[in-house]
Amino acid sequence: MPVSSGVRKRIAEFLDPDDEIHYVFPADVFGSTNPGVFFAVTRKTITILTTGWLSRKTPKSVVSTGLRNQRIGPVDTSTVPWFKFNGIDYEIDDEYVPVVHAADAEIMRDAAKPEDPLPDL
């Protein structure tokens, strides 16, 4: 199920008001006692927000923020879908694998362009 507009609105309250959310998906920190997080991928940043103990649908605080110049995946789907981001293993539901791929494709589209074979012309 996609992240609701209410959750997106609460996440936006933690972000720069001039920024724009492109992708949001929930994830679990593998092996953590408080595993619930949201990844908010914006025009400028990748922000990870923690959820509360009582509700895994309510963002509570920002755990980390980084520039939007890195990939989130690749996602390993050989078992439960998971990926490593900044040295931490995260698990996601199957339905969010395409969201991670879309976010990664967005950042990689400029890097994927072939070099100009005749740059001096």
Query: What are the tens digits of pLDDT across the range 64-115?
Result: 999 999 999 999 999 999 999 999 999 999 999 999 999 999 888 755 555 6
Residue 38 has pLDDT above 80, yes or no: yes
pTM, two decimal places: 0.86
44-70 pLDDT per residue, tens: 999 999 997 777 889 999 999 999 999
* Per-residue confidence band for 31, with pLDDT thresholds at 50, 70 and 90: confident
Give Dmax (Cα) for the chain: 62
Q: What is the pLDDT of residue 111?
A: 57
Q: What is the pLDDT of residue 99?
A: 96
Residue 121 has pLDDT above 60, yes or no: no
The DSSP line for 100-112 is: HHHHHHHHHTTTT
Integer Cα distance of 5 and 111 in angstroms: 31
